[in-house]
Amino acid sequence: MQELYTQSSAGISSLEVSKVLRNTYALLAMTVAFSAVTAAISMAINFPYMGLWMLLPYMGLLYAVEKTKNGPAGLFWVFALTGYMGLTLGPMLSFSIGMSGYEPLIMALGGTALIFFGLSGYVLVTRKDMSFLTGFIMTGFIVAFIAMLAAAFLNISGLSLAVSCMFLVLSSLLIMWQTSGIIHGGETNYISATVTLYVSLYNIFTILLSFLTGRD
């Protein structure tokens, strides 16, 4: 009887994990598509480059998502957040296309897709527990954020490139960490998981694009 109960619990747990994973990838695909639409609108209306000021609305929208992630309103705020981030891509895309054509854009998209599917696929196949990365990732993002502010305000030569590399590595690790969290039951909210993966993709794409257009 105890063995039967254990098997039944494992089955239910597996179903829950599959549901979170399926919902996360479905919502991620929709938010990426929505961001592409808002990015196109941003380019069409010549949306201004905001620099670090973009972080203020971003933090507010991220807070709204966190507060509503367990209810229907969470979906609205997820699309508000990702739509806004799509708008902020417009100036970068316009600059890239104007300077180098569409080739860097296509290469950055391909590189981002390769990194995402490669890293998430590795975790899904091996089922490795990446929870040991939690402290490293959190500390790394704090250090990278402080370094980003220093690079922006102090104009330290070479620091901008180092910061970009830090964010690229940390965002890649975050994809593995979040995917692992889903399949091992550490993450049960697909809205939170979607936002984490989306922000990682956004960081990777913008960093690759900046490398390819020589902006760092």
Cβ-Cβ contacts under 8 Å for 120 (sequence gap 6 or more) = 175, 176, 179
Report the pLDDT averaged over residues 70-90.
Answer: 95
SS3 155: coil
Using CA atoms, how far apart are residues 62 and 166, in angstroms rounded to an integer?
22
Kindly indicate the confidence band of residue 215, based on its pLDDT and cuts at 50, 70 and 90: low
Which of 205, 180, 190 has the alpha carbon at shortest distance from 74?
190
pTM: 0.89
Number of residues written out for the chain: 216
- Looking at residue 92, its pLDDT comes to 92
- Looking at residue 13, its pLDDT comes to 74
